[in-house]
Chains A and B, each alone.
Chain A
């Protein structure tokens, strides 16, 4: 199930009404989930990393939050239907003499396959990392790009 989500940017007054409604619905779902024995609050695939996929007329964009991971530590593969993101998040040891007050950041391996809804051009996929956000730009195949038809 896919949910359309809006981002809560102050200037987007129109979207904000939906967003508040969205959150109310999520909170209700969480409440019902808690009563009936637990359910996922967000409709996710449950596989790390969580990804956001968007599209425009030219490309699909796959984004994931991967803080502290260098682009060289990521393995991104392209298949005919989608992309796979594999890697390992390492948190280096800080020495023997340190005493931890909090330890919330986690390390480990991950691997995720994302199927894209349309045909893609496997030769022109590009990926970039900025401030811990991975962005993969996947061009759509020429066959599925929208084309303007001139009326005779």
Chain B
């Protein structure tokens, strides 16, 4: 019976609930509060590395992107959503800061980094420096 249920789950492409991942090492924290790690997609083409991060509730003003010594740090602050007079009826998710760090190789052209934030999704384009873009090597014969 259980197997049957799993199979139907797989057939329909329904979004499953994925609890927000709380940051495990609190070493970075200087202020109290929950810290979550945003879900990210990272992909690479010949010319650039693109990073997409889900950070719902973060506005452009509250987002900090920092690249220092090849460590990329994303930090997003989220304001409490409730108004002053609101009382909880049902609380299923918690809010808090988003924080995540990535190590980048030194091929990123830091002057050309481009960031866009739309509907709570950050899109970060990290272009590679010219020297690092792959070139096809011609093989000489003879």
- Taking Cβ atoms with an 8 Å cutoff, the residues of A that contact B are 2-5, 7-10, 16, 41-57, 60-61, 63, 65-70, 89, 91, 94-95, 97-111, 116-117, 129, 131-133, 135
Inter-chain residue pair count (beta carbon < 8 A): 168
Q: Is the CB of B86 within 8 A of A55?
A: yes
CB closest chain-B residue, reference A104: B39
A54 to B89, CA, bound (A): 5
Among residues of B, the one whose C-beta sits closest to the C-beta of A8 is B33
Taking a contact as CB atoms closer than 8 A, the residue among B15, B46, B81 that contacts A48 in the complex is: B15
- B119 in the interface, Cβ–Cβ < 8 Å? yes
What are some 11 contacts across the A-B interface (CB < 8 A)?
A8-B33, A44-B93, A47-B17, A48-B16, A51-B90, A53-B88, A55-B86, A68-B54, A89-B15, A100-B44, A133-B81
* A interface majority secondary structure: loop
Contact A132 B119, beta carbon cutoff 8 Å = yes
Chain B interface helix/strand/loop/mixed: loop
User: Would A8 and B93 count as touching, CB distance under 8 A?
Assistant: no
Chain B residues engaging chain A, CB cutoff 8 angstroms:
12-19, 31-34, 39-46, 49-50, 52, 54-59, 80-83, 85-96, 117-121
- Bound-state Cα–Cα, A111 to B94, Å: 21
Residue contact A99 to B44, C-beta cutoff 8 Å = yes
Known contacts A99-B44, A101-B49, A135-B81; 7 additional CB pairs below 8 A are A5-B94, A44-B17, A55-B89, A98-B50, A101-B44, A110-B14, A132-B54
Are B43 and A94 neighbours in the complex by a CB distance under 8 Å? yes
In the bound assembly, the distance between CA atoms of A56 and B32 in angstroms comes to 28
On whether the beta carbons of A104 and B40 are closer than 8 Å, the reply is: yes
Q: Could you tell me if A99 and B43 are in contact, using CB atoms closer than 8 angstroms? A: yes
Check if B57 sits within 8 Å of A132, measured CB to CB.
Answer: yes
Q: Give the CA-CA distance A16 to B14 in the complex, in Å.
A: 36
